Amino acid sequence: MRGRHYGLPLIVLLMLVTGCAPALKTARERPLAVEEILRRVHERNEAVRTLKGGGTITVEAPEGSNSGFFTASLKKPDSLLVEFKGPFGIHVGTLLLSRERFVFFNRMQNRAVIGRPDGRTLQSMFKLKMDFDQILNAFTGEFPEASPADTLSGFSIEDNEYVLRYRNPANGTEYRIDGDAFVVRTYTVTDTPGDPSVTATTDRIDDSPPIAMPRFLRVIFPRERRSITIAYDDIEVNKPVDCSFVLPPQAQIIQR
């Protein structure tokens, strides 16, 4: 009886202390070498094999902005299916993207645009200079890794983020990496004069198992004044997904 009498308050006290303890700032407490940081970022990225989620997507461009609801199914390394919905849940379009084929079906017009998934086709449809891998990465929060031609020019720790800066003759690249989740929080590419050509950010990182995932992703192309923003309301990783889509038999087809 005595053990039970004193044990309960002790357990409650430990729970309160644990619950009120500040989150560890891992990068500052136990800083890692650059090679280990990059390894963990790569490991996190490679761990994402499939994704299923929904939320809102916004594309901004000088010609105008569009925003709406979406559901997405993604399977690495080569499949993405996005269903677009308008007000009141009206299904307005479907995007099927693979390395061999691009299909965008406008349900309101019963019209499908089919072509190769190269930058020119994607830019003509969505007014964004993004290739296949860049679009897939926009949905998973991944960014290009430094190439062998890049030289590490700076390394620091700021606000529990690892800051890595690289240079090559053409441009500079900066990564700000979350010190706990090893998700890239900001990614910036600048030209030789130092003007940014690409700026990307992630936020609302869900670090629950099995893999840390940002629920907010934004990629900006400052020179063209264009951007894409993806905000997830719900997201699942590494669950079975179906990225198949069959056009209605009476759909009008336009080849690009």
pLDDT tens by residue, 59-114? 898 888 888 999 999 999 999 999 998 876 778 899 999 988 889 999 989 999 99
Of 88 and 51, more confident? 51
What mean pLDDT comes out for the span 18-45? 75
Mean pLDDT (the chain) is 85
What mean pLDDT comes out for the span 156-169? 94
Indicate if the pLDDT at residue 250 is higher than 70. Answer: yes
Q: Does the pTM of the predicted model rise above 0.85?
A: no
What mean pLDDT comes out for the span 185-195? 90
Helices (H), the chain: 2-20, 26-29, 34-47, 119-126, 132-140
CA distances from 176 to 42, 70, 236 (A): 14, 28, 25
Question: Do 182 and 193 meet the contact criterion of CB atoms below 8 Å apart?
Answer: no
Q: How far apart are the first and last CA of the chain?
A: 80
Name the nearest CA neighbour of 161 among 182, 189, 144, 142. Answer: 182
Of 16 and 114, more confident? 114
Reading the block at residue 223, the tokens are 């020179």
CATH topology of domain 29-255: outer membrane lipoprotein receptor (LolB), chain A (2.50.20)
Reading the block at residue 80, the tokens are 């993405």
pLDDT of 25 reads 59
pLDDT of 125 reads 67
Sequence ranges of the domains in the chain? 29-255
Of 37 and 131, more confident? 37
Q: Which of the residue ranges 17-26, 28-37, 85-94, 181-190 would you say has the lowest mean pLDDT?
A: 17-26
pLDDT of 111 reads 92
